Amino acid sequence: MNFMQFVNFNYVVSSVIYSLLGVFILLLCFWIVDRFTPENTWKEIVQNKNIAVAIVAAAFIIAIGLITSAAIHG
């Protein structure tokens, strides 16, 4: 059996394109939220070791990722 028989490259290409689109939307949303918050989120997490801000940022990234994947998947 040949591996090429089981792989449809149209689906692979569309998955890669939608994945890149999802990552772009995620980064754009994080950047927008970072602009509207009073403090620099990355500075708070990395330099000041603020665990609470890191948890909120992680929850935001997970939420936007779920929304984006649901929207792309249909």
Per-residue pLDDT of the chain (74 residues), as tens digits, is 677 777 778 877 888 888 888 888 888 988 898 888 888 888 888 999 999 999 988 998 898 888 877 877 75
Report the pLDDT value the prediction gives residue 74, as an integer from 0 to 100: 58
Q: What are phi and psi of 62, to 5 degrees?
A: -65, -45
Amino acid letter, residue 10: N
Domain spans, the chain: 42-74
Q: What local confidence, expressed as pLDDT, does residue 1 receive?
A: 61
pTM: 0.68
What is the model's pLDDT at position 50? Answer: 92
State the Cα–Cα distance between residues 18 and 16, nearest whole angstrom: 6
Query: How far is the C-alpha of 61 from the C-alpha of 22, rounded, in Å?
Result: 11
CA distance linking residue 33 with residue 40, whole number of Å: 10
CA distance 39 to 51: 14
